[in-house]
Amino acid sequence: MSMKEYIDEAEAALLHTYNRYQIVWDRGDGMYMYDIEGKKYLDFVAGIAVFALGYNNKAYNDALKAQIDKVIHTSNYYYNIPAIEAAKKLKKVSGMDRIFFTNSGAEAVEGALKAARKYAFLRDGRTDHEIIAMNHSFHGRTMGALSVTGNPHYREAFEPLIGNVRFADFNDFESVKEQVTDRTCAVIFETVQGEGGIYPATEAFMRQVRALCDERGILLILDEIQCGMGRTGTMFAWQRFGVKPDILTSAKAIGCGVPVGAFMMTEKVAQQSLTSGDHGTTYGGNPLACVAVSKVIDLFEEQDILANVNETGVYLYEKLEALTEKYDHIKAHRGIGLMQGLECGMSVNEIINRAIEKGLLLINAGANIIRFIPPLIVSKADVDNMIEIVDACFAEQQ
């Protein structure tokens, strides 16, 4: 079948909730994706910050294949070795104490919100607790995650949502303070806002919110679904500042392609929140997903992924800064590590489409921001190739 025939079949069968690019993928290898017609694309999307190790990593693939031949699923009525090993390794790299494996990032956020509310309920017996979230944030599409997503456009058609959510301005501590009441049980934000425009939290904001939470007995939930697992140069972005959350959410690169997420918490929260019967999942923590998590963490260490992120991330920053100075179309450049963005004075759809035509995959973050979130194995040569194409796309815009 041709590319068009496959796309026509997809449009006839799939629910139209995505405006997809007109590409049907065949395979991936390293930093590149190949469509069914054999065209090669340099990938600076990584499945939306998922494929940290690049495509077709043999050690990763072999680990999954071996587990498939053993057992894929058992349910949480029983223990399984991959889940035990993955939890132990994730505890070590995250600095957290207790792990709950989910199937996605949105589910991790749902669990985190439930844990925070149960923690507060056990403390005072009230059921009217409030959560403070950030404007322009994004936490997922399920009802709970949507409730704390700070974009009214995403929420309005699905209201009423879970309720008792107040919104403050990211990196504005006074704004957060103004939303605190005697019912506040948690503050949630992304350590680096992704969909909201690639805005890293400032160290001052992190420390001030942490101190406020400690003072008022409020839990701090950090969403690192996109910015975690090495993307900013530390395994989790909060580790740059030493500002530890009470609850941490993760997904995407944690499994490098296998659908898996997790919410993690300190021992204090674990002992005073969710207990038997409070939360569950059929597939969460299954052997196949947890082998992926375990192998990903091993390969991060073996391949010294963080060193590459820190070195290549600085190089990417320098190259994007030079591009920003070159073109009036580009209004701002921000980000950290291998999570950076260019804010433009117009819609970036045309730039992204031109890049695709030239064999480069990019993604937006809002209508006017190009997001750069490549696999964490990206090299300086890959950055140079990307910059050459993006430069040409902006030149054609003149």
pLDDT tens, residue by residue, 329-385: 899 999 999 999 999 998 999 999 999 999 999 999 988 999 999 999 999 999 999
Mean pLDDT value across residues 272-295:
97
Mean pLDDT value across residues 198-223:
98
Question: Measured in Å, how far apart are the chain's first and last C-alpha atoms?
Answer: 38
Cα–Cα distance between 246 and 213 in angstroms, integer? 10
**Which residue spans of the chain are classified as CATH 3.90.1150.10?**
3-56+304-397
Cα–Cα distance between 147 and 141 in angstroms, integer? 9
Q: pLDDT-based confidence at 145, cuts 50/70/90? A: very high
Is the pLDDT reported for residue 397 higher than 90? no
**Which residue spans of the chain are classified as CATH 3.40.640.10?**
71-302
Is the pLDDT reported for residue 398 higher than 90? no
Sheet holding 369-372, edge to edge: 330-336, 339-344, 369-372, 363-364
Cα–Cα distance between 331 and 310 in angstroms, integer? 25
Mean pLDDT value across residues 80-84:
98
Tell me the torsion sign for CA atoms 47, 48, 53, 54: positive
- Which residue, 200, 261, 259, is CA-closest to 234? 200
CATH superfamily of 3-56+304-397: Aspartate Aminotransferase, domain 1 (3.90.1150.10)
Tell the CATH topology of 71-302. Answer: Aspartate Aminotransferase; domain 2 (3.40.640)
Phi then psi for residue 376, to 5 deg, are -75, 0
DSSP element (H, E) containing 300: helix 287-302
Is the pLDDT reported for residue 270 higher than 80? yes
Cα–Cα distance between 154 and 339 in angstroms, integer? 23
Cα–Cα distance between 54 and 33 in angstroms, integer? 10
